[in-house]
Structure 1
Amino acid sequence: MTYALHRLEPSSYDLVLGGAVVGSVVREIRDGIGDDIWHAELLDDPAPEKRPPSFSRIDHTFGSLQAVVAWLQQIKVTDNIRNFWAQTLGNN
């Protein structure tokens, strides 16, 4: 199965697998106390053998969104913000 990231806000994505939201990817802005951190986290805490591919624990941290995408391997990124405004403005 292929993961999908659905962009909700500039630093927030739903993590979708098999058509279901299984987690989120969010950026933690550190405001001058270090580099920003990206978190890929599951919504639930399943037993290790029931976790989706790549997840050995509930929360993984990364230095960039590109690193998250590389870690998840096969992934499709959808910009829901852009799609929302295109549909909204197109309907007026």
Structure 2
Amino acid sequence: MTYSLIQLAPGAYDLLLNGEVVGSVVRNSSYQPYTWTAELLEDVPPARRPTPFAELEHVFASLEDLCAWLGDPPIKTNNRHGDAWER
């Protein structure tokens, strides 16, 4: 399974699995220390959740920790000049 993230706004990403949106990644606060949540869109039984989701939501201390948990997916972000770059 291959995940990727597409930034929607600062602190908000669509979470894609094999090119399909399956969830979101959001920053939970406007002030440091931030926490980040990865959340599936559908409430599916545990047996049908994509790896590594044991729960519908997982909270992380940093975006880097969340990305490591997902297997370091590529991230497409938008910068202030309207250009996008990929990690």
TM-score by length of 2: 0.85
Q: 4+ runs of 1 displaced by more than 4 Å? A: none
More helix by share: 1
Structure 1 alignment gaps of length 5 or more: 88-92
Aligned residue among 78, 83, 86 for 1:86: 83
CA deviation profile, 1:40-70 (whole Å, cap 9, x unmatched) = 0000111111101110000000000000000
**Structure 1 residue 25 corresponds to structure 2 residue 22:** no
Identical-pair percentage: 42
The separation in 2 between residues aligned to 1:60 and 1:68, in whole angstroms, is 9
Report the count of equivalent residues.
Answer: 83
Structure 2 alignment gaps of length 5 or more: none
Determine helix, strand or coil for the equivalent of 2:43: coil
Q: Which amino acid aligns with 1:11?
A: G
Is the CA contact 1:42–1:59 (under 8 Å) kept in the aligned structure 2?
yes
CA RMSD of aligned residues (A): 2.0
The separation in 1 between residues aligned to 2:83 and 2:69, in whole angstroms, is 30
Q: Which amino acid aligns with 1:27?
A: R
Structure index of larger Rg: 1
Q: Which residue of 2 aligns with 1:49?
A: 47
